[in-house]
Structures are given as C-alpha cells and as structure tokens.
Amino acid sequence: MNEQKLTPPEALEALERRFELGQQNYKDEAWNAHTNREKLDDVNWIEIRCDHARWHIAHFLEVMDGLREDNGDDDGAAIMWLGAMLHMAYKRRKALTK
C-alpha cells in the first residue's frame, strides 16, 4: 500500500468536526463510533439521514453556482458523514447476516 495518505487530512478533519457537531446537538442520541450503533439497523432512520444529505447536496450546488449564500454549514462534511454512516451500516449488515 502507498505510504503516503491518499485522503486529504483537511477532509478527515472536517468529518471529525461533523461528528463532534452531532455529539453537541444530539447528545446521547448521536450516532458515532462509540454510541447508538443499533441505529444502523433502522432503515427508516437511515432514510431520514439520506433525505437530509440530499438537502446538503442541493445547497452545496446552489452555493457553488452562486445562487445561494454560504450559510457556514459545511455541506461537504455533512455529505461525508452520510457516506461514513452508510459504509458502517453496510458493514454491520454484512456481519449480522453471516
């Protein structure tokens, strides 16, 4: 494997800040590497997170096109959070169905 890291450190830092924001906003209800792993089994919960990420994608594109002001929320980090959550849900499902 390549000794150099391929993932930009700034992206990983933004993702970590997004997890921290979730911990601040949702306290004991937050999903992260340490809490509420069972949420990954709840398809309805996952669908709600996907719908929210769609909003971030649309907002990001509008900001990039100059159609909307940047509200300071890191849409890219929110989208990465969704990817991380979906990855972990997939891994959990595979492990539980073996």
**Nearest CA among 52, 31, 51 for reference residue 41:** 31
- Any domain includes 46: yes
Structural domain includes residue 57: yes
Number of domains in the chain: 1
Dihedral sign from CA coordinates of 61, 55, 57, 73: positive
> What does the pLDDT profile of the chain (98 residues) look like in tens digits?
567 889 999 999 999 999 999 999 999 999 998 999 999 999 999 999 999 999 999 999 999 999 999 999 999 999 999 999 999 999 999 998 87
Please check whether residue 6 lies inside any domain of the structure.
no
Q: Residue 95 is part of which domain span?
A: 39-98
Is 63 a domain residue?
Answer: yes
Give the whole-angstrom CA distance, residue 14 versus residue 37: 22
Residue 78 inside a domain? The answer is yes
Residue 73 lies in a domain: yes
Residue 22 within a domain: no
Q: Considering the domain boundaries, does residue 53 fall inside one? A: yes
CB atoms within 10 A of CB 19: 19
